[in-house]
Structure 1
């Protein structure tokens, strides 16, 4: 494919204009080098590096250019070693350019943008070779990550120490403010107290397709101010501000203030002669403006029209120095997309790439060499001294990761009798851990979006308390009728958010990265209603990608929530563990299975070789004696190993002619179906599946496509007992359909494939064809 170059007027794409003199000083020289390097990194990936497939490589030179000044001033003047920065996705080459100048990235790596094993398309903590504080790429999620990073840092520092202080910066494209996740984060009750938060909005007023006609900056500023943030607006640079003080200056300010974004952007494409015609406009102020600019030489006029606050190093430094650390701060920095490039201000410059001629002209203007693009600053130069000083200032102490405390595999409780739910087992297991494994329990932190009591975390909350940076008064402490005690204090281990699942998993991801940031492992558990897991999946997935390890509990789940109706019934969530990298999934059927699965999941957290987990739990009361847990210690341990490996045989027939594989709440129906089939003379084995995810991995390993252990397949589905297979779960049937390939047997997969409705449990199960009758009928069809 031919790289996209927008129709920018001339072959070089640069209007015929005199060169604008470069501002003096070492910081300005570093700014020019950052602009050059970020542009050259993308140029090399697209124009220089061989591309035999012809597939577009891509990159965003214009988006990098609008951030070059903001990021230069930040890294080479303001940041401390304890500060952390989330960089907008399309500015990743700017970050790599800065890391190169700081000595953190070898020049050879600058040639590998978007190459296999090279620099990633967007900043990545886990895949980029140079320092990246936050993975970004999914618009809006990277922007909010420092909010949750700030809370995670405070939590770790308050409980264990060593996490230090430091600001949390987000560098945000203005289009990211369209994302609802941003405003969910801004409105969370915890956020107004986070004075370390600083968001810098790159207000270039362009999206992918066009110049945004009305950016409504005043409205955005008002929304942040109403949420308690300090709002700083950097609209004009010092050159323009000085011109505004001259005769005709107030008219010029009014003219630019009132100008629509498209008209302003068009001025950036004008020569000096064209500017003298267009800039005055019409009406009574045209004369004073014309008189003012008549006294300016061409270079000054061209510099003035693009002299916005986000490109004026002095204005940026003053703003950074004015940050109020007692409350969150947002800085609206007006910028020009493509600033300093031939594509400057063009409405279609988002993905446009400079030609070789344009690159050579740019090199000449910026003091670089296209044939030697990665040349550094000379020894003894002020620029070399500045970058070396910044590198020393930003050098972070290394935190050796602590191994998380051992989590017991079994709490040695007797198998429960009577009826119970897997959701109840969650709260009971957490309480048992505080007594039997207090060190491990001390690392657990739970997070909930206002559903703690309804997901059986009440006892845990009463035991460990709610986290707050400062102790709060519990006004209901002396109320005898209050069951859930809301004790907020710095030692609490539960964090309560507002009703926003994206906030919950954003915080969960950052709590899950503390082992790699400060060497302090946490065991984070987030609890959310299972029907809303899909809403939270993207930010949770991004947290896993960034190294965050956590347990997400979805409860209650499925059409088993019969009276709640279709809006609160989950269908696709059982297969998420198979489809989500870096995550194990479990759906236990019994209380003791839940305990074992949760303990196994917690034991995988907080270490370099760890992984996240998803537990799908139910509120359906189940007769716990159906689990038939062996009383012999060795047999019990064998059962536990099978549970956490993915499946176990719950019932064996003398001569099986069919196998029923059931998961979660549907195990009771499978057992009832086996009884009825036996009465008809058809023996049925019943397999309780606890993790289709792990079974699929074992199957892949058997085929030589993975390295996971595969022993569970022989124990749960022995070849000498292979029979036609019926699978059933309270979710989409494809989740278990692959089990037929373990022994290559005929199969029927039962599950939920359509929206449900309210009703009784038997009615809803019958409606979806997952009741006992449906299982019996499917088995008879096979045998």
Structure 2
């Protein structure tokens, strides 16, 4: 068998090399040398092991191939040409605007399940795909991951090694393209194959070391790996970067550089000329069950809803809602970062242990596994403390690039967690999640609202984030209340309202307390629950601001940058800006341990601070416009080169707004911070 396939594999490998060089030269950029080193590894895989239905890329039994070293995309696209998915003409559109063949692979290109290129992510995502195959589907597919040796320095790779061993993922095979050279020189271990193998074995993996340019050795290693059922396999393949092209083979300084036209022609000649063979991949096993993730819900959704006034933490409501959702939908799975007794994901675990996956203290792996399960059609929820999701932010960012549907929950948000102190306080999470392309950011204030939003999240496309609170808070909404994404709720309102107070989560309760006190003082206040932080309710908030003559107080348990305050300011800005008098209360100094009420008071975001802010904003008076961006009086002119002196207040507002786009604003803003600036 080995002798029969070797000549065919040699020709296929040469074709893959030629096409990798051609496409990158046509683009004028790319990573041909990183592609050349792995051509033999991929040729053998295609010839004898990869089971993938070209005519049905969505076949649920197709193997999965992840190019974790996504910069080797010329090789992947050459493979797609070799199986007839990409034409020769399309191959030469590599890296061009509008081409499917982007610089690093992205869905929905066939065979590309997830976006890669941020190193250290392919194997963790592969763990998620393998978990689904083994534990949720009992499916026969294998997960192949091509790793670069530089990315073996990423901690996320070793999180994946650990979890693959723990879950006995014999359906996961990693291929290490050990070509010795990284971007700027030699990798830490160079060609020390035994060192990589020993590390893998220490993590409980089977490890096989081979010559990565010997088709027979490659074939034998793959054959050994596919017969393993309980142990993941790492194949350490010693290769030469730039293999087959003497100009660049094993040479430093060629990473990420395309050959010019003359060099390309010489390389093609050295590789034996152009080839246009189209091969037939092995078929996946027959489909014997329905594709994953499309089985209709067996039962109607029955959310656990509380009586108005009952005190329940939103984090507990999250766990209760997950269990209810799991009872209604067989496609729901839950992952947690070893804090399920705090996030209350343990409620789902107790109800559906077969669909709960413990990710331990490995937040990157947790998010990556959720992305991998999404590849298999699972509705994945992943939870940990809001503060710790920052460790996984690059995975969240790349999940958006992958167009993955992933639901995240961050508990213990803000200073209101109290005694645990600042290391546990999620104060950046709203800013982080709002910055993710296409994301949805939700911040419920009570148990019933949380339950409804969890149910909604199950069908939200893209990255969705739910922020929950440690403290028990009163239920504000009746069981029949609905909470559409992009909406808000008005909890206090009258025709005589003089100010709009906007809060969410814990600060909404402080806003309500402040509103009650203000009412006794003869100052009616409109209170808005901005539970949908992104998308925010532009129409509702702008209407409230106009109804209260532009007097606004925004209060949030978050750093001042990037959270609810900025969302409100953006809402008031845009093409038709509202020059409102805005005071933004937020956490502006490093917090410390204390009771929740002490930490809220120290941060200046409790009911007392809100009452004081309302008094200040009303003292400013409707005759003085304030900038919707920074809260400063718009009459403060910010110097812009070439601007004339404003002649009216309206002109002053326009000059001030334009000044925000000018570097001089930085200095002007600092100069005013200790003067009349209302913030």
TM-score band, normalised by shorter chain: 0.7 to 0.9
Under a length normalisation based on structure 1, what TM-score does the superposition of the two structures give?
0.71
Alignment match, 1:107: 88
Q: Does 1:617 align with 2:519?
A: no
Alignment match, 1:731: 558
Does the CA contact (< 8 Å) of 1:588 and 1:617 recur in 2? yes
Alignment match, 2:348: 460
2:20 aligned counterpart, secondary structure: helix
Within 1, Cα distance between the matches of 2:298 and 2:432?
27
Alignment match, 1:148: 128
Within 1, Cα distance between the matches of 2:401 and 2:72?
19
1:199 aligned counterpart, secondary structure: strand
Does the CA contact (< 8 Å) of 2:412 and 2:424 recur in 1? no
The alpha carbon displacement at 1:175 in A equals: 0.9
Within 2, Cα distance between the matches of 1:331 and 1:414?
54
For structure 2, the residue ranges without an aligned partner over 5 or more in a row are 53-61, 573-577, 619-679
Match of 2:487 among 628, 636, 646: 646
The alpha carbon displacement at 1:432 in A equals: 4.2
Within 2, Cα distance between the matches of 1:510 and 1:339?
32
Larger Rg over CA atoms: 1
Alignment match, 2:312: 420
Does the CA contact (< 8 Å) of 1:407 and 1:603 recur in 2? no
Q: Does 1:334 align with 2:238?
A: yes
Within 2, Cα distance between the matches of 1:668 and 1:92?
52
Q: Does 1:765 align with 2:575?
A: no
Alignment match, 2:207: 231
Alignment match, 1:219: 195
* Pair 1:603–1:321, CA change in 2 (3 A): closer
Alignment match, 1:52: none
How many residue pairs align between the two structures? 589
Instruction: Please give the residue correspondences for 1:2-13 in structure 2 after superposition, counting only pairs within 5 Å.
Output: none
Deviates more, 1:665-674 or 1:451-460: 451-460
The alpha carbon displacement at 1:179 in A equals: 0.5
Match of 2:387 among 507, 517, 531: 531
How big is each residue's C-alpha offset from its partner over 1:205-242, in whole Å with a ceiling of 9 and x where there is no partner?
111111246434433221111222111111xxxxxxxx
Instruction: Please give the residue correspondences for 1:338-737 in structure 2 after superposition, counting only pairs within 5 Å.
Output: 338-341=242-245, 342-368=247-273, 376-377=276-277, 387-390=278-281, 393=283, 402=294, 405=297, 411=303, 413=305, 415-433=307-325, 438-440=327-329, 442-464=330-352, 466=353, 492-515=354-377, 522-604=378-460, 610-624=461-475, 627=476, 629=477, 639-641=481-483, 644-695=485-536, 699=538, 712-713=540-541, 717=544, 719-733=546-560, 734-737=562-565
Does the CA contact (< 8 Å) of 2:433 and 2:441 recur in 1? yes
The alpha carbon displacement at 1:414 in A equals: 5.5
Does the CA contact (< 8 Å) of 2:457 and 2:464 recur in 1? yes
Does the CA contact (< 8 Å) of 1:736 and 1:749 recur in 2? no
How big is each residue's C-alpha offset from its partner over 1:401-459, in whole Å with a ceiling of 9 and x where there is no partner?
7375499788484534332211121122234446xxx432x332211122122222344
1:739 aligned counterpart, secondary structure: helix
Within 1, Cα distance between the matches of 2:391 and 2:488?
29
How big is each residue's C-alpha offset from its partner over 1:315-356, in whole Å with a ceiling of 9 and x where there is no partner?
222222232513211111111111122111111111232122
* Pair 1:396–1:461, CA change in 2 (3 A): closer
2:498 aligned counterpart, secondary structure: strand
Does the CA contact (< 8 Å) of 2:243 and 2:250 recur in 1? yes
Does the CA contact (< 8 Å) of 1:589 and 1:690 recur in 2? yes
Within 1, Cα distance between the matches of 2:302 and 2:545?
26
Does the CA contact (< 8 Å) of 2:127 and 2:372 recur in 1? no
Within 2, Cα distance between the matches of 1:141 and 1:569?
27
Within 1, Cα distance between the matches of 2:298 and 2:399?
24
1:170 aligned counterpart, secondary structure: strand
How big is each residue's C-alpha offset from its partner over 1:24-82, in whole Å with a ceiling of 9 and x where there is no partner?
82321221111000111000011xxxxxxxxxxx3111111111111111112222233
* Pair 1:169–1:412, CA change in 2 (3 A): closer
* Pair 1:414–1:145, CA change in 2 (3 A): closer
How big is each residue's C-alpha offset from its partner over 1:73-99, in whole Å with a ceiling of 9 and x where there is no partner?
111222223322111212111111111
Instruction: Please give the residue correspondences for 1:178-257 in structure 2 after superposition, counting only pairs within 5 Å.
Output: 178-188=153-163, 191=166, 193-212=168-187, 214-215=189-190, 216-234=192-210
How big is each residue's C-alpha offset from its partner over 1:285-318, in whole Å with a ceiling of 9 and x where there is no partner?
xxxxxxxxxxxxxxxxxxxxxxxx1112222222
Within 2, Cα distance between the matches of 1:617 and 1:670?
18
Alignment match, 1:172: 147
The alpha carbon displacement at 1:755 in A equals: 2.8
Within 2, Cα distance between the matches of 1:513 and 1:616?
25
Alignment match, 1:275: none
How big is each residue's C-alpha offset from its partner over 1:700-754, in whole Å with a ceiling of 9 and x where there is no partner?
xxxxxxxxxx6x557x737444531110111123422342443441211111234
* Pair 1:408–1:755, CA change in 2 (3 A): farther
Does the CA contact (< 8 Å) of 1:645 and 1:694 recur in 2? yes
Deviates more, 1:64-73 or 1:670-679: 670-679
* Pair 1:753–1:352, CA change in 2 (3 A): same
For structure 1, the residue ranges without an aligned partner over 5 or more in a row are 1-22, 47-57, 159-163, 235-308, 370-374, 378-386, 467-491, 516-521, 605-609, 631-635, 700-709
Q: Does 1:34 align with 2:16?
A: yes
